[in-house]
A and B are shown apart, each in its own frame.
Chain A
């Protein structure tokens, strides 16, 4: 009975304002719901996170003294920044060498994770096992474990024999000498050789830090339609051509995401030498906490700059598939 009455009433209201009003109110309702969904983030972000950032910046311009009831701040202007750049013996050199290493490592990590994702995406025996092994570092080699593995004298002890250790340091996989001997006849610069040697010796670090990137690339590879590959093979393209003409452009958005993620991840990781150094300044030096905060902000600004430049360059070459 009731529903019949409702049906009868409806046409009358519809005549007054068809469709338009209803659509608008639904959109409004949805927009309101959207605010509700993001409210927890927004509230704490505005009430705690933003003030914390302001505090942090404020502390970097102050000297801090702990008292029984709290802490006392005295404004010192740019003193902390000046101290970081001019009177700290190691900050500038650590910063430059750390950034250099960062810039060298990022391509290695991105290329490696792309390569491994392509390998792990192929059908073969034992794929699930290899995938399981490759994602172990994502779960396990973080935080505490990463710190322990950083200077693991036992692992290197068990790896290298006594005689070897006395000749090469700490059982490196290859030495620069070996490779230079090979490459010197090939007219490849020593800088390039040193870079490759560094990467090979750091392979554990590279593998460890490319887990999430591998996952993202794998997701990207899975989302490419098999029909494209099929038509390529019918047209007679080789695997090499297919990779560069199809796979590479299709996952270029993921390359951008992964590059930015890698920069963020490696510069905030505690195994990073600059972070390490600033961390030591924070805990060991007198009045080091405000000085270290200033150093962090300097470092952060430089890295933001790097991210902006890299993202700007890469996004110019990124290909987005338009789907209608």
Chain B
């Protein structure tokens, strides 16, 4: 039974060949497939595309490659003009000096706590605010939205002095002065940055609120209506139905908030003065044991040391990014941003 079937199949396949492809020699088939204008166009386009993509990838990656190369170079390498990217006398001294003398791990711990705190807070709060702006048609909705846009546009540098004095002499309609005798000093505490994160006013939070709003506007209203009909309240619906939907967008905002807080040098130096809370900006100095004064290639050498510090700063971010990068595009893609 089986054998017969096989034979008949073979036969039919042969017939097929004879009928339709018998006239084509391999050369002709090759020609019809590869020697057409269309194929040529595709090849040229592909080459063009890859040349651009690889070229720009190189531009993006070059500073990191240079940083890695420079971080292993020793003093002698900078004296030797034949050394450019690959060190002749590789050493780990630069890393050791930064880790021990600049107290890298202390900065790492403090920055991790601060960034995690801010990123989680900002993610949750911008989600809540964005949802409120996207789905509720209360009076003043557009006014609040314009306020959000306004916080995006005002340069935070312009508010530097005012922020500092506000939190250095923190007072609430004169209430605190009445109780404690003098205004509170909130500098070097987590309060200022926590307060700003809580209300979606910290670094670039306007963008996060905007992204969240656009995302929630793309969620069909029927979902919530179905939940309301089933007797679920507004807040229960938000927690049970909406939050699980917002996963990719939450990851995107978390990634932005975490990494931008991590490398931030504005709020972290404004609200945390140097000696009390040791953060990442503080490790960007040349360690004493690698003193470059009087050294012939001092400028390049100290620049390489600073670059090594930068490398150590972004190392944890790189790890996080490699895990989450695919959600980054996904989250934005699903947001359906329009206008």
Contact = CB atoms under 8 A, between A and B. Distances in A.
Interface stretch (B4-12, B16-24, B155-163): B155-163
Contact of B235 (A33, A52, A253): A33
Max chain A C-beta neighbours (<10 A), residue from B69, B144, B157: B157
Given A153-B300, A320-B339, A45 B199 contact: yes
Contact of A37 (B131, B159, B264, B335): B131
B200 A40 contact: yes
Contact of B57 (A130, A220, A318): A130
A203 interface: yes
Given A40-B198, A59-B162, A158-B84, A139 B317 contact: yes
A31 B62 CA distance: 52
Contacts of B246: none
A207 interface: yes
A148 B306 contact: yes
B81 A275 contact: no
B247 interface: no
A56 B59 contact: no
A212 B335 CA distance: 14
B66 A155 contact: yes
Contact of B155 (A41, A64, A275): A275
A9 interface: no
A140 B157 CA distance: 21
A167 to B, nearest CB: 16
Interface in B68-109: 69-70, 81, 84-85
A130 B53 contact: yes
Chain A interface: which size bin? 35 or more
B328 A45 contact: no
A268 interface: yes
Contacts of A55: 162, 165-166
A143 interface: yes
A154 interface: yes
A152 B63 contact: yes
Interface stretch (A88-96, A229-237, A241-249, A290-298): A290-298
B84 A30 contact: no
B259 A52 contact: no
A77 to B, nearest CB: 18
Contacts of A254: 337-338
Interface string B190-215: 00000110111100000101000000
Max chain A C-beta neighbours (<10 A), residue from B199, B281, B333: B199
Interface in B121-145: 125, 128-129, 131-133, 135-139, 141, 144
Contacts of A279: 157
B152 interface: yes
Contacts of B135: 34
Nearest to B203: A143
B243 to A, nearest CB: 13
Nearest to A134: B60
A49 B201 contact: yes
Contact of B129 (A41, A136, A267): A41
B265 A144 contact: yes
Interface string B291-326: 000000001100110110010011001100110011
B56 A49 contact: no
Given A59-B162, A219-B333, A133 B60 contact: yes
Interface residues of B, number: 97
Interface string A151-186: 011110111011000000000000000000000000
A289 B164 CA distance: 11
A290 B166 CA distance: 15
B39 interface: no
Contacts of A256: 339
B49 interface: yes
A83 interface: no
A44 B63 contact: no
Interface in A105-156: 116, 119-120, 122, 124, 128, 130-149, 152-155
Contacts of A275: 155, 157
B290 interface: no
A119 B235 CA distance: 42
Contact of A144 (B84, B131, B228, B281): B281
B260 A155 contact: no
B46 interface: yes
Contact of B325 (A30, A135, A257): A135
A213 to B, nearest CB: 11
A99 interface: no
Nearest to B314: A140
A33 B232 CA distance: 14
Nearest to A133: B57
B56 A70 contact: no
A204 B329 contact: no
A157 B301 CA distance: 10
A140 B314 CA distance: 7
Contacts of A158: 66, 69-70, 84-85
A70 B265 CA distance: 25
Give 5 nearest A-B pairs by CB, closest first: A37-B132, A34-B136, A44-B199, A296-B158, A143-B263
Interface of A: 26, 29-38, 40-45, 48-49, 51-53, 55-56, 59, 64, 69-71, 116, 119-120, 122, 124, 128, 130-149, 152-155, 157-159, 161-162, 203-204, 207-208, 212, 215-216, 218-220, 222-223, 253-254, 256-257, 261, 264, 267-268, 270, 275, 278-279, 282, 289-290, 292-293, 296-297, 299-300, 303-304, 307, 318, 320
Given A128-B326, A144-B263, A296-B158, 15 more contacts: A30-B234, A31-B136, A44-B195, A44-B196, A44-B198, A45-B147, A56-B159, A144-B265, A144-B284, A153-B300, A203-B59, A257-B337, A267-B155, A299-B155, A300-B154
20 contacts: A26-B228, A29-B234, A38-B133, A40-B198, A41-B148, A44-B195, A116-B56, A120-B53, A135-B325, A144-B265, A204-B60, A207-B60, A219-B336, A219-B337, A220-B337, A223-B337, A254-B337, A293-B160, A296-B155, A303-B153
